[in-house]
Amino acid sequence: MGDRRRADFWTLQPATGRWSAESAGTPARSAFAWASDSKRFVLVGGRAESGPLSDGWVVAIDAGDSRPISPGGTVPSARTGAAATFDASKYYLYG
């Protein structure tokens, strides 16, 4: 399979050791920055078949629902391999 990018989302239940396929709805990508808390994860950038990406997505973990981020102001340029974290009020992207 090598460099094949996927758009699937899976959860693991450690107590049972079972994987479950979920529905995230984000475009296929690799090498993206992401951060999470107990309710959601945010992913930004990465690489698609067409090249580096600059978009971002919020995925609600319990609902398996996703939506694109529509930020204002200056948007970070397309990137791969960045790092991210967030707190209650801000998402931090590095690299």
Structure letter (DSSP) for residue 31: S
| Contact yes or no for 22/64 (Cβ under 8 A) | yes
pLDDT at 24: 66
DSSP string, 42-69: EEE--EETTEEB--EEEEETTTTEEEE-
pLDDT attached to residue 10: 82
**Distant-in-sequence, close-in-space partners of 54: CB < 8 Å, separation ≥ 6:** 45, 75, 76, 77, 78, 79
pLDDT the model gives residue 1: 46
**Distance in angstroms (rounded) separating the CA atoms of residues 26 and 37:** 18
How many other CB atoms sit within 10 Å of the CB of residue 46? 25
Q: Is a pLDDT exceeding 60 seen at residue 2?
A: no
Instruction: Give the Cα separation of 22 and 83 in Å (integer).
Output: 24
CA angle 10, 53, 38 (to 5 degrees): 35
pLDDT tens, residue by residue, 4-62: 777 777 888 999 999 988 776 788 888 999 998 888 888 999 999 889 999 999 988 77
Query: Could you tell me the pTM of the whole model?
Result: 0.78
